[in-house]
A = this chain, B = another copy of it.
Amino acid sequence: MTKTDIATRVYNHAFKLDPIIRSLIDTDFYKLLMLQMIWKLYPQTDATFSLINRTTRVRLADEIDEGELRDQLDYARSLRLTKKEMIWLAGNTFYGRKQIFEPEFLTWLAAYQLPEYELSKRDGQYELTFHGRWVDTTMWEIPALAIINELRSRAALRSLGYFTLDVIYARAKAKMWEKVQRLRELPGLRISDFGTRRRHSFLWQRWCVEALKEGIGPGFTGTSNVLLAMDSDLEAVGTNAHELPMVMAALADTDDELRAAPYNIMKDWNRLYGGNLLIALPDAFGTAAFLRDAPEWVADWTGFRPDSAPPIEGGEKIIEWWQKMGRDPRQKLLIFSDGLDVDAIIDTYRHFEGRVRMSFGWGTNLTNDFMGCAPTAIDGLNPISVVCKVSDANGRPAVKLSDNPHKATGEPSEVQRYLKIFGQEDRVEQAVLV
């Protein structure tokens, strides 16, 4: 006879809401580092975050039920930091440093709640916007994206039978493990999970992270997901993001101030954090412009995270710059994190091996690769390029140029103004898949 745990079954089948975000630290670690800086230095600055689906063929508002989306967003708003999370944030060592979060910041964080959201539909897309203080709105980026992406997977899987589901996950696991086996052949590889925002689902991300931990061993250097880092005893990794130079640039009153904005925010960062956390993100307004205008002290930072240039060309430009500045690239760190798949990781690793320290932040292709796993192709399982970006700061429009024009955001007239100031050098159009 078949044995069934009746209580579990009754519970499962009476499910009302299966929350996607169940913890405020189910987010990227860099959000917490940036949050502390915003809380300390820019507590009165307003910043609006907006959802942008760059994969316009996918009509999110048709695929995802609005009621379910609201339920998930509302549930996320009901969350508060738990005691366990507080104690762990206060007591854990991050990047080798104890008490990276000030007690006053943690006290403030203990009462933190995700702020209100505005949601409407237009042309088959959701317009999801978060207005308010930067220190409040910034925390929506990751949960909003994780909710959108997981609701989309759920909708795609909803009509499938049990065995189809079982086979889809079995194939995805087998596929993932082949990647692990290929990566294991790179002796000095350092790789971490950056896949929270566009993951297939929380449980799948957790599986992938645990699989990397077991499969790659010490070369798996951690996860950007704070909750998974805590639960799986991994390093929480990540430093800062484009929103810092973007807000600073939006607040600039003159062209000179605009030009100086990316470096000024780095000075702020340096006041708060040091050492391994000194990772420059050069592509907000184009890497060429960033390097051209960079002050000497930027070369003293630990490394760079090229995030939109093709990895080999982008890395070479930065190495060339370090050499020009008289620094030894072998002491420096490049963190690659833009839409990486295993081939790109292997090619990049082989290319730079021995010439520079490297680390890979593996995102969507780690936590949301179901290509070829469904018996018949299900478009809803293919990841999309959806982001949640600062759209204005204190009422002024925010802009990102990026090294890839397809990743630029902002009003067209403002983008033109920025291009006039920073130039177009080395910007290369590449398809944006994720």
Given contacts A1-B231, A231-B1, contact A154 B6 (CB under 8 A): no
Q: Which of B2, B10, B15, B162 contacts A13 (CB 8 A)?
A: B15
12 intermolecular pairs with C-beta atoms under 8 Å apart: A1-B232, A4-B206, A7-B169, A7-B170, A9-B203, A10-B157, A10-B165, A10-B201, A11-B165, A12-B15, A13-B15, A14-B158
Q: Which residues of B contact A165 (CB under 8 A)?
A: 7, 10-11
Q: Are A7 and B203 in contact (CB under 8 A)?
A: no
Q: Which of B13, B201, B231 contacts A12 (CB 8 A)?
A: B13
Q: Which residues of B contact A106 (CB under 8 A)?
A: none
- Residue of B with least CB distance to A11: B162
A11 vs B161: C-alpha distance when bound (angstroms)? 7
Q: Which residues of B contact A166 (CB under 8 A)?
A: 7-8
A10 vs B166: C-alpha distance when bound (angstroms)? 9
Q: Are B203 and A1 in contact (CB under 8 A)?
A: no
A190 vs B18: C-alpha distance when bound (angstroms)? 47
Give the size category of A's interface with B: 20 to 34
Residue interface bits A193-204, CB-to-B below 8 A is 1, else 0:
000000001011
Within 8 A of B (CB), among A165-211: 165-166, 168-170, 201, 203-204, 206-207, 210
Residue interface bits A13-51, CB-to-B below 8 A is 1, else 0:
111001000000000000000000000000000000000
Given contacts A12-B15, A13-B18, contact A7 B168 (CB under 8 A): yes
A204 vs B7: C-alpha distance when bound (angstroms)? 10
- Residue of B with least CB distance to A172: B6
Q: Are B6 and A207 in contact (CB under 8 A)?
A: yes
The secondary-structure label for the interface of chain A is helix
Q: Which 4 A-B pairs have the closest CB atoms?
A: A12-B12, A7-B166, A7-B165, A7-B169
Q: Are B169 and A6 in contact (CB under 8 A)?
A: yes
**Additional A-B contact list (13), CB under 8 Å, known A7-B169, A10-B154:** A1-B206, A1-B231, A6-B201, A9-B203, A11-B162, A11-B165, A12-B13, A12-B15, A13-B15, A13-B154, A14-B154, A14-B159, A14-B160
A169 vs B158: C-alpha distance when bound (angstroms)? 29
A207 vs B11: C-alpha distance when bound (angstroms)? 17
Q: Which residues of B contact A18 (CB under 8 A)?
A: 13
Q: Which residues of B contact A232 (CB under 8 A)?
A: 1
A10 vs B370: C-alpha distance when bound (angstroms)? 15
Looking at A6, A13, A18, A166, the one whose CB has the most chain B CB atoms below 10 A away is A6
How close is A151's CB to chain B, nearest CB, in angstroms?
A: 12
A157 vs B159: C-alpha distance when bound (angstroms)? 26
A159 vs B6: C-alpha distance when bound (angstroms)? 16
Given contacts A1-B231, A14-B157, A154-B14, contact A7 B207 (CB under 8 A): no
Looking at A8, A13, A158, A168, the one whose CB has the most chain B CB atoms below 10 A away is A13
Q: Which residues of B contact A210 (CB under 8 A)?
A: 1
Within 8 A of B (CB), among A112-160: 154, 157-160
Given contacts A13-B18, A18-B13, contact A203 B4 (CB under 8 A): yes
- Residue of B with least CB distance to A213: B1
Q: Which residues of B contact A169 (CB under 8 A)?
A: 6-7, 10
- Residue of B with least CB distance to A233: B1
Q: Which residues of B contact A14 (CB under 8 A)?
A: 154, 157-160
A340 vs B101: C-alpha distance when bound (angstroms)? 67
Q: Are B1 and A162 in contact (CB under 8 A)?
A: no
Q: Which residues of B contact A6 (CB under 8 A)?
A: 169, 201, 203-204, 207
Q: Which residues of B contact A4 (CB under 8 A)?
A: 203, 206
A109 vs B218: C-alpha distance when bound (angstroms)? 65
Q: Which residues of B contact A168 (CB under 8 A)?
A: 7
A159 vs B1: C-alpha distance when bound (angstroms)? 30
- Residue of B with least CB distance to A17: B13
- Residue of B with least CB distance to A170: B7
How close is A18's CB to chain B, nearest CB, in angstroms?
A: 5
Q: Which residues of B contact A158 (CB under 8 A)?
A: 14
A207 vs B10: C-alpha distance when bound (angstroms)? 14
How close is A202's CB to chain B, nearest CB, in angstroms?
A: 10
